Chains A and B, each alone.
Chain A
Amino acid sequence: MINLFIQSIQETLLMVFISTLAGIFLGIPLSVLLYTTDRYGFFHNPFLNKTVGFIVNVIRSTPYIILIIALVPVTRFIVGSAIGTLAASVSLSVASIMLVCRMGEEAFRTVPTGLIEAAQSMGATPLQIISKVIIPESLPNLIAGFTLIVINLIGFSAMAGAVGGGGLGDLAIRYGYQHYNYEVLSYAIVILILLVQIIQTTGDYLIKKLRK
């Protein structure tokens, strides 16, 4: 049983880790794209902005459990199978990217336009403005957003058990719900609570350190 728990925790952590990385490396660039192609952005491009914005909204408004099923063909294409922890990570990553995308855009908007103008007046390129002003200045807000998103992803990962993704949620459903094993169910819940607590506390600590 202990081994089962350890394996489940590993699976949950793996899914959350992969999807968080996807959020950082694909979601943040996408939010930069949305931010910079906006009406006041320096790559003002209504077509691109509206198109990407629309896609993000469509995916975001799809309930996650439906998204898993809808993405089965994509998952098969990427990992070769629609079942398993890696397969679940695909849909989880897509959900993560969409969440990060809007969160990032909102965080960037909190940077006062005056700072951007100041950087422009120093002769900064748009890339320099993004890398030296917008991202660093919105970092506390980004971390706050990420904390929420990672916690969300842990919740989603429990649903991913539905497609054989494994993880703590899957454990709780199979042993706790289907086998009436309330002990396993309780432990799974306690571990999930602990996980969320750790993430929230770490996030809060980082934000406190970053805010000046």
Chain B
Amino acid sequence: MTPSEKKIIIRIKNLGKKFQLKDTPLFAIENISLDIEENTIVGFIGRSGAGKSTLLRCVNRLETPDTGEVWYHNLQINTASEKDLRKVRHEIGMIFQHFNLLARRTVLENVCLPLEIAGKKNKKGIRAKAMECLQLVGLQDHIHAYPAELSGGQKQRVAIARALAGEAKVLLCDEATSALDPETTQEILQLLLSLKQKLRLTVILITHEVAIVKEVCDFVYVLDKGKIIEAAPTEIIFSKPQHEITRTFVDSLISKNVPDFIRQNMQTVRPSPSTPSDVIIQLIFSGHIAEEPIISQFLHQSSHNINILAGHLDHIGKSSFGALIVSLPNTSAILQEAQTFLESKGVQIKILGYIPK
């Protein structure tokens, strides 16, 4: 699809909301403007208190903004009548960190709830539709169970089925995987991806976990202190983080890959050139570059040994994103040569530390 064909489904303009603390107003979000395209997964990442939850809740007006506008197609949500708002809420489903299932309704009855709320009277029709949604999330075998009998992942699946039952076009995810273990998180993320495909769903998720954004998002907004500090397609955010906070997020993902034995021996101060040492460098590849044989090109060109210590290659959407940790002899000449060559190839270089021999 070319960019011109993409349709904006949610448009936010100059959005602001403040909470009155004891004496000073706290700006939860300030002057936020953005467009969200149909059938994309958009992630908002930020530390706690960054305002991401407020922003998400302004989309379906669980929170009313003080200033600015929120549009869903041609309806201005923040000024819509209660009746219009309820109608549009049928099209914007929401899931939560703690699932928020009704304890006294079975799985099937929980999924029936939004349909009952929408005023559907035909009980058989409601059940059939609910069953359809449960099949979509793979829970058709547990329809008569109560939420207390389900695992966290299953509960979130029920919540997703429930959010989608009213023919939702948009799914808002409020830290939806934060209460789940890594494996279950993966399952839920895969489910979101498949729903995006099958239902042409638009997903807006907020999280403080960078791994989640990397896994599923097409586009990422980084929030800090109520403002958007960086916004870019996911592969750009990960390969060329601009802001300090974004870098911290991205690094938290990569530094996991530095092997312990290197981390333990590594020092951050450069040893004097007279003592032989190795320099540990992280090479960050992004987008199409990852397909080029850069390392072997460097080896051909240079006479020095490059030692690959650790590596990790990931795919974000269709482009690959990778980081290699290598060691080189710590001399100015070699370092200079490596830097010039690698940077000409668009590989980012980051010196992690030095290991004395």
Instruction: Please choose the segment from A11-19, A81-89, A133-141, A174-182 that sits at the chain B interface, where 4 or more of its residues have CB less than 8 A away.
Output: A133-141
Q: Are A136 and B62 in contact (CB under 8 A)?
A: no
Main secondary structure of the interface of A (DSSP, over half): helix
Tell me whether A57 is interfacial, beta carbon within 8 Å. Answer: no
Q: Are B90 and A122 in contact (CB under 8 A)?
A: yes
A123: which of B90, B98, B148 is its contact (CB, 8 Å)? B90
Within 8 A of B (CB), among A115-165: 115, 117-125, 128, 132-133, 136-137, 139-140
Q: Are B102 and A124 in contact (CB under 8 A)?
A: no
* Complex-state Cα separation, A137 to B147, whole angstroms: 13
Q: Are B102 and A133 in contact (CB under 8 A)?
A: yes
Once A114-B96, A114-B98, A117-B96 are accepted as A-B contacts, the answer to whether A123 and B103 lie under 8 Å apart by CB is no
Tell me whether B350 is interfacial, beta carbon within 8 Å. Answer: no
Point out the residues of chain B lying under 8 angstroms from A65, CB to CB. none
Q: Chain B 88-110, CB within 8 Å of chain A: the 1/0 string?
A: 11101110101011111100000
Q: Are B96 and A123 in contact (CB under 8 A)?
A: no
* Complex-state Cα separation, A112 to B60, whole angstroms: 20
Least CB distance, B178 to chain A, in whole angstroms: 14
> How big is the B interface, by class?
20 to 34
Least CB distance, A136 to chain B, in whole angstroms: 6
Point out the residues of chain A lying under 8 angstroms from B98, CB to CB. 112, 114
User: Closest chain B residue to A113 by CB distance?
Assistant: B100
Once A123-B87, A123-B117, A132-B117 are accepted as A-B contacts, the answer to whether A212 and B148 lie under 8 Å apart by CB is yes
Once A117-B62, A212-B146, A212-B148 are accepted as A-B contacts, the answer to whether A122 and B114 lie under 8 Å apart by CB is yes
Tell me whether A48 is interfacial, beta carbon within 8 Å. Answer: no
Q: Are B116 and A123 in contact (CB under 8 A)?
A: no
* Complex-state Cα separation, A164 to B163, whole angstroms: 59
Tell me whether A210 is interfacial, beta carbon within 8 Å. Answer: yes
Within 8 A of A (CB), among B50-102: 60, 62, 85-90, 92-94, 96, 98, 100-102
Q: Are B102 and A137 in contact (CB under 8 A)?
A: yes
Point out the residues of chain B lying under 8 angstroms from A125, CB to CB. 86
Q: Are B94 and A137 in contact (CB under 8 A)?
A: no
Interface size of A in residues (CB-CB distance below 8 Å): 21
Within 8 A of A (CB), among B126-163: 146-148, 159, 162-163
Least CB distance, B32 to chain A, in whole angstroms: 20
Least CB distance, B241 to chain A, in whole angstroms: 33
* Complex-state Cα separation, A112 to B86, whole angstroms: 21
Once A132-B113, A132-B117, A212-B146 are accepted as A-B contacts, the answer to whether A123 and B100 lie under 8 Å apart by CB is no
Least CB distance, B113 to chain A, in whole angstroms: 7
Within 8 A of A (CB), among B146-193: 146-148, 159, 162-163, 166, 172
Q: Are A212 and B104 in contact (CB under 8 A)?
A: yes
Q: Chain A 21-45, CB within 8 Å of chain B: the 1/0 string?
A: 0000000000000000000000000
Tell me whether B351 is interfacial, beta carbon within 8 Å. Answer: no
Pairs A-B, 7 closest by C-beta atoms: A123-B89, A123-B86, A118-B100, A121-B94, A114-B100, A122-B114, A212-B146
- 5 contacts across the A-B interface (CB closer than 8 A): A115-B100, A122-B166, A123-B87, A123-B88, A133-B102
Besides A114-B98, A123-B89, A210-B104, 6 other A-B contacts (C-beta < 8 A): A119-B117, A122-B113, A122-B166, A132-B116, A133-B102, A137-B104
Chain A contact residues, CB within 8 Å of chain B = 112, 114-115, 117-125, 128, 132-133, 136-137, 139-140, 210, 212
